[in-house]
């Protein structure tokens, strides 16, 4: 981090394997669990769902990278960021309850959190929703991913520049 290189690129590439492993394990669950309870999905729908899982995993990875950028500035709060991050996504993005279940501000927040739109698209594909609906959800998820990429980049750059200038790079509190 003390070198003038781009730490954001290194941080972004460091754990990209999590997107792959998360997609694989979720895909296995997507195939096996319906078989156990007697639900059948078309092979084409399952293939589409796997790609949507990967999109959601990637946008979530970019959100996690933003949280990592915050942790470089506030190392003492990294566990808080981790826990609020994953619990917030689980509660607000439609995994446990529908997005509209929460009060309006939380519903609006869910629209800019990762995986919300991928999850809508996955459910749309598996429930035979219109192609327009599915593609609109994909478009929103791509925009959300790009937003978290930009925000993560800016936060990393600002944090690293300030830390380099002040000589205060500390990741192990």
SS (H, E, C) the chain: CCCCCCHHHHHHHHCCHHHHHHHHHHHHHHHHHHHHHCCCCCHHHHHHHHHHHHHHHHHHHHHHHHHHHHHHHCHHHHHHHHHHHHHHHHHHCCCCCCHHHCCHHHHHHHCCCCCHHHHHHHHHHHCCCCHHHHHHHHHHHHHHHHHHHHHHHHHHHHHHHHHHHHCCCCCCC
Structure confidence at residue 111 as a pLDDT band (50, 70, 90):
very high
The confidence score (pLDDT) of residue 81 equals 83
Q: Above 80 in pLDDT, residue 47?
A: yes
Per-residue pLDDT tens digits for 50-71: 999 999 999 999 999 998 888 8
Query: What is the pTM assigned to this prediction?
Result: 0.87
């Amino acid at each position: 981090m003390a070198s003038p290189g781009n730490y954001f690129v290194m941080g972004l590439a460091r754990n990209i394997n999590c997107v792959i492993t998360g997609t694989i394990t979720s895909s296995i669950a997507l195939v096996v669990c319906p078989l156990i309870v007697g639900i059948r999905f078309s092979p084409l729908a399952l293939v589409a769902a796997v790609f949507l899982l990967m999109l959601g995993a990637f946008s979530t990875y970019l959100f996690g990278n933003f949280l990592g950028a915050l942790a470089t500035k506030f190392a003492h709060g990294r566990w808080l960021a981790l826990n609020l991050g994953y619990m917030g996504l689980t509660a607000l993005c439609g995994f446990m309850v529908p997005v509209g279940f929460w009060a309006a501000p939380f519903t609006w927040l869910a629209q800019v959190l990762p995986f919300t739109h991928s999850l809508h698209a996955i459910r749309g594909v598996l429930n035979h929703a219109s192609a327009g609906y599915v593609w609109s959800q994909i478009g929103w998820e791509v925009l959300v991913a790009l937003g978290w990429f930009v925000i993560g980049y800016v936060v990393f750059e600002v944090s690293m520049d300030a830390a380099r200038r002040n000589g205060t790079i500390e990741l192990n509190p």
